């Protein structure tokens, strides 16, 4: 294995003694020839990196798709009356699959190369983001269920960490930790907490999670349930919207406005069904609207 960094250093040093043509000594001519060879080698290393990308990316893309299917098994777990002494089966499946990927696929590649680093990061990021989304979409969830999910969050971090340091995912790592904290937060405090106000947790993930707190889940169905879509189809829709998002701008959540409108309509219907309830359910309605209005204020139709 040849390190491009080493070649770069050698090439630079080789060219350090370059002098104008016609005044080259035999030693300088050797240096010039070596510099030319190193330049050619650097170009070939770029080609080799592209080939490596073309090999490893399809493999890990396929592996990531399979991991997504395992994450979806989260919805087969009982988060209403869970067995807190048992590891969630989908977590065990994810751990086993990641171990297989590490020992049967990744060991074939040089872990110090850019293609390896980039591909592993992409796979880890997708598993973590997909997990957070599916965790937020699970309904219903009891207090014991939140404890079970909290344990799952710690275990998914450990599992993904076998192929990539989750802390290096930056914003996604922060969202994973913040979502875990959000689970145990009082409903009324959710719209005002730092995790939500600073969008550490994606606002749609916050809204989806709040749906899991409904006293009567059938009266507050999640958007995909209400529209008769599968979780896979709904996730694909959200992925397409995410591709349209203007990251890092004030408009980065604008592409989700129609999704918020659908959620808002469901909340209106839920409020009507619980109009005599001035307790927790009224607080839930207020919390959902508080989060939604913070990111998608009403459009000004007067201009």
Tokens representing 175 are 């969202």
Give the chain's mean pLDDT.
85
**Which stretch of 27-41, 92-106, 208-222 has the lowest confidence by average pLDDT?**
27-41
pLDDT grade for 32, boundaries at 50, 70 and 90: confident
Contacts for 268 with CB less than 8 Å, ≥ 6 apart:
none
In terms of Cα–Cα distance, which of 160, 124, 141 is closest to 77? Answer: 141
CB atoms near residue 277 (< 10 Å): 14
In terms of Cα–Cα distance, which of 286, 271, 281, 266 is closest to 222? Answer: 266
- Supply the pLDDT for residue 251: 85
% of the chain exceeding 90 in pLDDT: 63
pLDDT grade for 6, boundaries at 50, 70 and 90: very low
- Top mean-pLDDT range of 44-58, 152-166, 245-259, 286-300: 152-166
In terms of Cα–Cα distance, which of 20, 8, 14 is closest to 32? Answer: 14
Q: How far is 234 from 72, CA to CA, in rounded Å? A: 12
- Supply the pLDDT for residue 225: 94
Residues 264, 289: contact at Cβ < 8 Å? yes
Q: How far is 177 from 5, CA to CA, in rounded Å? A: 36
Residues 135, 151: contact at Cβ < 8 Å? no
pLDDT grade for 21, boundaries at 50, 70 and 90: low
Residues 266, 223: contact at Cβ < 8 Å? yes
What's the burial of 155, exposed, middle or buried (CB within 10 Å: 0-12/13-18/19+)? Answer: middle
Return the higher-pLDDT residue of 22 and 80: 80
For the stretch 264-289, pLDDT in tens is 999 999 988 876 566 778 899 999 99
Return the higher-pLDDT residue of 101 and 113: 101
What's the angle, vertex CA 281, arms to CA 279 and CA 285, rounded to 5? Answer: 120
What is the rounded average pLDDT of the residues 167-189? 96
Return the higher-pLDDT residue of 110 and 21: 110
Q: Residue 22: pLDDT above 90?
A: no
For the stretch 123-140, pLDDT in tens is 999 999 999 999 999 999
Q: Residue 141: pLDDT above 50?
A: yes
């Amino acid at each position: 294995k040849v390190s491009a960094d080493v070649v770069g250093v050698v090439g630079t040093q080789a060219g350090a003694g370059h002098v104008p043509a016609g005044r080259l000594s035999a030693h300088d001519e050797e240096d010039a020839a070596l510099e030319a060879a190193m330049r050619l080698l650097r170009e070939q290393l770029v080609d080799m990196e592209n080939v490596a990308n073309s090999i490893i990316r399809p493999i890990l893309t396929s592996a990531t798709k399979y991991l997504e299917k395992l994450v979806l098994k989260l919805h087969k777990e009982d988060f209403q009356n869970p067995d807190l002494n048992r590891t969630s089966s989908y977590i065990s499946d994810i751990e086993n699959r990641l171990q297989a990927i590490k020992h049967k696929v990744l060991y074939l590649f040089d872990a110090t190369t850019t293609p390896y680093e980039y591909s592993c990061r992409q796979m880890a990021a997708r598993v973590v983001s997909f997990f957070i989304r599916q965790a937020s979409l699970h309904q219903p969830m009891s207090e014991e269920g939140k404890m079970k999910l909290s344990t799952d969050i710690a275990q998914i971090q450990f599992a993904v960490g076998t192929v990539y340091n989750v802390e290096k995912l930056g914003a996604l790592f922060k969202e994973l930790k913040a979502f875990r904290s959000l689970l145990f937060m009082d409903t009324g405090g959710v719209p005002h907490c730092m995790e939500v106000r600073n969008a550490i947790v994606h606002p749609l993930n916050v809204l989806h999670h709040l749906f899991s707190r409904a006293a009567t889940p059938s009266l507050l169905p999640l958007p995909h349930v209400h529209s008769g879509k599968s979780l896979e189809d709904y996730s694909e829709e959200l992925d397409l919207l995410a591709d349209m998002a203007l990251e890092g701008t004030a408009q980065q959540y604008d592409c989700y406005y129609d999704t918020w409108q659908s959620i808002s309509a469901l909340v209106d219907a839920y409020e009507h069904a619980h109009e005599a309830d001035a307790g927790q359910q009224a607080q839930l309605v207020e919390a959902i609207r508080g989060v939604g209005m913070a990111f998608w204020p009403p459009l000004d139709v007067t201009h």
